[in-house]
Amino acid sequence: MKKILLDVERMKYANNGLFHFCSQLINAIASQPNFQQNEQFSLFAPPAIIEDYKDAFEIFKFRSLYKFFLPFTGKYDIWHSTFQNTRYFPYHFRGKIVYTVHDFNFMYEAKFETKRVQILKDIQKKVDRADVIVAISKFVKSEIEKYCQVDVAKIVVIYNGCNILEKPKFEAPKVKPNLPFFFTIGTILEKKNFKVLPSMLLKNDYDLVIAGEHSDYSYCQKIWERAKYFGVSKRVRLIGAISDNEKNWYLKNCQALPFPSLAEGFGLPVLEAMHFGKPTILSKLTSLPEIGGAQAYYYDNFEPDHIAERTMEVMADYNTDVLGKSDAIKAHAGQFTWEGAAKKYNEIYKRLLD
């Protein structure tokens, strides 16, 4: 039996984008027909998730020393690196390597040029060694071609899925905003561009809830300063990291999800909001128009007057036909499934094993 190892080491950081990517992908793979019959799947995994997955997968627990050597790779036929900047990459592996690339966001961040050059150098080495490179959007594929020397025939686009386990009623979160409210989510960093959002509240009485890990406290302060400047600080809430259940409550009960990000490889919160039929207001940058498509709304710029006006235009348009527009938005999100993504990854594994 052929053996496939998936590196999900990044699941040691709960409730971020990579955690959700890995968990959704391996759950979908485990749900595929003939799982563990024709191929044996294993996980290179952190201790925190072993109990959750030990019944479905063989678990190979990662250790920090494996950053320097990976003595166990000879057991496997395929190694799937699910994170482009992984420090556990089997350069000298004799089997086949699948390498998933999520974004080149570091090229849009305020990093020193020497840091960007080093990251690109590391990615190039992985691209050179990989047998198949998976881009999570056509935009990311174009970024790989732009920044790396690569045989484009090795690149495959596989979109992330959007599977939310529906419940009749999601339990209310600890921080329950006044109704109505806007909701957005993402790690609080400059590239998310959340500081432009307080001006959404200038022409309405809504609250704004921003969830996500506070990775950059100076940027949090910029959001607060904007909120104070516009006199809406009492209606802006930065609530930190939240659980899936809390996130789904906010998505189901919000009026809209604004997402003015400057750099996204995919933008999963957009589809998650669309799953509930909610209007999304996005930037026109990087992958977001590709993922949101014609069923999303967009900002033309980030000037306060435009943000305020566009917000009211979107809500007026959406409310002219809530049921019709909501159904169309849900249908768009329904095209992106983890089952479909897992099937395409399985097709790659099988092709490499033939």
Residue 68 in this model has a pLDDT that exceeds 80: no
Task: Collect all residues with Cβ–Cβ distance below 8 Å to 61 and sequence separation of at least 6.
Answer: 45, 46, 47, 50
* pTM reported for the whole predicted model: 0.93
Contacts by residues 86-93 (CB-CB < 8 Å, ≥ 24 positions apart): 86/7, 86/9, 86/10, 88/7, 88/9, 88/44, 88/62, 89/126, 89/129, 91/125, 91/129
**For the segment 107-156, what is each residue's pLDDT rounded down to a tens digit?**
987 678 999 999 999 999 999 999 999 999 999 999 999 999 999 999 99
* Angstrom distance (rounded) from CA 71 to CA 15: 30
According to the model, what pLDDT value does residue 168 have? Answer: 66
Instruction: Report the percentage of the chain scoring pLDDT > 70.
Output: 99
* Angstrom distance (rounded) from CA 162 to CA 138: 17
Instruction: Report the 3 state secondary structure along 204-266.
Output: CCCEEEEECCCCCHHHHHHHHHHHHHCCCHHHEEEEECCCHHHHHHHHHHCCCEEECCCCCCC
**For the segment 304-351, what is each residue's pLDDT rounded down to a tens digit?**
999 999 999 999 999 999 999 999 999 999 999 999 999 999 999 999
Residue 267 in this model has a pLDDT that exceeds 90: yes
Domains of the chain: 2-161+337-353 (3.40.50.2000), 181-333 (3.40.50.2000)
According to the model, what pLDDT value does residue 14 have? Answer: 81
According to the model, what pLDDT value does residue 284 have? Answer: 98
Find the mean pLDDT for residues 57-61.
Answer: 88
* Angstrom distance (rounded) from CA 243 to CA 268: 15
Find the mean pLDDT for residues 205-214.
Answer: 95
Residue 169 in this model has a pLDDT that exceeds 80: no
Within the chain, residue ranges assigned H as helices are: 17-30, 50-53, 113-129, 138-147, 217-229, 244-253, 268-275, 288-292, 304-319, 322-333, 338-353
According to the model, what pLDDT value does residue 67 have? Answer: 77
